[in-house]
Amino acid sequence: MGVFSTMQVDAYDELQANPFFSDVPVIVHDEKVITNKISELIERLKICVVIMTPFGGVLKPDNPGPYLDDVRLMVRVYEKPLINRSAGGTGKTALEVVEQVLATLHHNPKDANIYEMFKAANPAFSLTTDDADESTIVYNVFFATSCGLSLSIPAIEAPIITDDAGSITISCATPGAAIFYTTNGSYPNPQSTFYTGAFSISSGVTVRASAWLAGYSTARAQYTKP
């Protein structure tokens, strides 16, 4: 499971462990529970909590990883007050649920090890009209966290450009690598010229080459003919 899905599941487990939510359904928003289906759930559930997909970004892009130091987890609270606060409802208001969400998730989970524990963000919550009609109250509750992403990708060998008496050849020591090159000053990509054999260039022309192979990081090289 990826780090973002883990955040959602951990938040779900923390809320489910709080007896307050015994009659307030908690739902994890994913590909199976898309936004346009939430209104159908609200009609049936009267009040519910939806743990949305995390979002955020990088404040220091030069850090390796990348390290996502501005990640937000949003928990959305929906209530149909005319139904929920009448006979047969939970009697718990959306704002009371917001308070419990904040109290339960702030500085939790204690054992988070692939991301920093949740902290109430600023603003911590807000009333919104998103996904709501006149009979629905919707609050967004925000938590801040951070995490590093790391993916070990093997490096492909850098292409070698050789000028043999005017005949330009390009090779790569990684078996199966495809080589693409340019002679117009641009940087090569898989839409550039595919290297199939030796070619000639004029004095002052720069050859740029990239080696590509699925599952490997790309390597580049360049050569300018004297």
Full set of structural domains in the chain with CATH = 3-148 (3.30.2000.10), 160-224 (2.60.40)
| Interval 153-212: pLDDT, tens | 688 899 999 999 889 999 999 999 999 999 998 888 888 999 999 999 999 999 999 999
Q: Which helix (H) or strand (E) holds 101?
A: helix 94-105
3-state secondary structure of 115: coil
Whether this prediction's pTM lies above 0.75 is answered by: no
* C-alpha torsion angle, residues 142, 148, 153, 158 (rounded to 10): 110
| Interval 71-88: pLDDT, tens | 999 999 999 888 888 888
Q: Is residue 151 pLDDT above 60, yes or no?
A: no
Q: Which residues contact 13 (CB under 8 A, 6 or more apart)?
A: 109
Which band of pLDDT confidence, cut at 50, 70 and 90, is reported for residue 64?
A: low
pLDDT at residue 87 in the model: 86
